[in-house]
């Protein structure tokens, strides 16, 4: 067995639901911690007080720019990590913190929140509110293969992670309107309905086969665009769905 990678969980302005999703891999998480990764930092689960060196930092939550410590923490995270992952929609897209505007006791001046990609370079997104445990698991395994695998495994991990890296390059906004601007307006929607299944607040229905968004319900998590098979569809990975699923299942055995 190759070396374990160093994994950390950094908690900014998040709800810890992303960490719960990590934990909801059940024995899969224990397997990952046994064989592939050491959890070197996570204030919820361990008493390491300061951000150490990490191979992979899973960053949950957005950044309140009026909170000095948070700003320092995200900068420190970038400095100490090989791979920074925006875990969940707050970290990737701002999500519900997009609606923050201050004025509440007892820090009424804490009014501005930004996704981490507006303060540091982010390598990879795991969108979702909540993010799916299975996607977090896949990314953890693939990150391990990328850093510790043989050449074939590195190549596989590279191509698996690419679309999630592309999402990180694409921007820091998520919304129902992504489906309009980047799918329907682009002549790409084919009415499969995936967006409606992925939406956590049921803001999307399909009228005559096309997405209809209740934008006052939308919490701006960016899931629908991420899940849409016409946002990214990397044939090189998808055509191997059977073998890749077997590899992931095998790694967890």
Q: What residues make contact with another protein under the rule CB under 8 A?
A: 21, 24, 127-135, 138, 160, 163-164, 182, 186-194, 196-200, 206, 208-210, 221, 223-224, 226-227, 229-235, 237-239, 241-242, 244-245
- C-beta closer to another protein: residue 64 or 219: 219
> Cβ 21 to another protein, closest distance in Å?
8
- C-beta closer to another protein: residue 100 or 205: 205
> Cβ 223 to another protein, closest distance in Å?
4
> Cβ 148 to another protein, closest distance in Å?
21
The neighbouring-strand residues paired with 207 are 210
- C-beta closer to another protein: residue 85 or 129: 129
- C-beta closer to another protein: residue 43 or 247: 247
Question: Contact at 8 Å (CB) between 235 and 188?
Answer: no
- C-beta closer to another protein: residue 112 or 132: 132
> Cβ 174 to another protein, closest distance in Å?
10
Structure tokens at 168: 């990180």
> Cβ 237 to another protein, closest distance in Å?
7
Q: Where are the alpha helices (DSSP H) in 81-193?
A: 89-93, 133-148, 151-170, 177-179
Residue 219 CA to residue 96 CA, distance in Å, equals: 6
- C-beta closer to another protein: residue 51 or 136: 136
Beta-carbon contacts of 132 under 8 Å, excluding residues fewer than 6 positions away, are: 21
DSSP one-letter string for 28-81: HHHHHHHHTEEEEEETTT----S---EEEEEEESBEETT-HHHHHHHHHHHHHE
> Cβ 200 to another protein, closest distance in Å?
6
Query: 238 exposed, middle or buried (CB, 10 Å; 0-12, 13-18, 19+)?
Result: exposed
HSE on the CB side for 246, CA within 13 Å?
4
CA angle 96, 115, 66 (to 5 degrees): 90
């Amino acid at each position: 067995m190759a070396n374990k990678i160093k994994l950390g969980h950094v908690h900014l302005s998040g709800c810890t639901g992303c960490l719960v999703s990590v934990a909801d891999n059940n024995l899969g998480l224990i397997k990952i911690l046994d064989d592939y990764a050491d959890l070197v930092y996570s204030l919820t689960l361990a008493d390491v007080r300061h951000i150490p060196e990490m191979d992979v930092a899973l960053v949950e939550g957005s950044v309140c720019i009026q909170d000095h410590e948070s700003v320092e923490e995200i900068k420190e995270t970038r400095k100490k990590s090989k791979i920074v992952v925006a875990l969940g929609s707050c970290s990737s897209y701002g999500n519900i913190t997009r609606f923050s505007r201050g004025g509440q006791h007892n820090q009424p001046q804490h009014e501005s929140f930004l996704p981490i990609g507006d303060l540091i370079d982010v390598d990879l997104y795991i969108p979702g509110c909540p993010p799916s445990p299975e996607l977090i698991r896949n990314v953890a395994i693939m990150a391990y293969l990328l850093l510790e695998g043989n050449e074939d495994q590195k190549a596989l991990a590279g191509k698996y992670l690419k679309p999630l890296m592309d999402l990180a390059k694409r921007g820091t906004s998520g919304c129902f309107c992504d489906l309009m601007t980047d799918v329907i307006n682009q002549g790409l929607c084919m009415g499969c309905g995936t967006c409606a299944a992925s939406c956590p607040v049921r803001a999307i229905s399909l009228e005559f086969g096309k997405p209809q968004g209740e934008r006052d319900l939308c919490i701006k998590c960016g899931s629908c665009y991420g899940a849409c098979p016409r946002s990214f569809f990397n044939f090189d990975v998808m055509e191997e769905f059977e073998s890749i699923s077997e590899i992931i299942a095998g790694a967890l055995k």
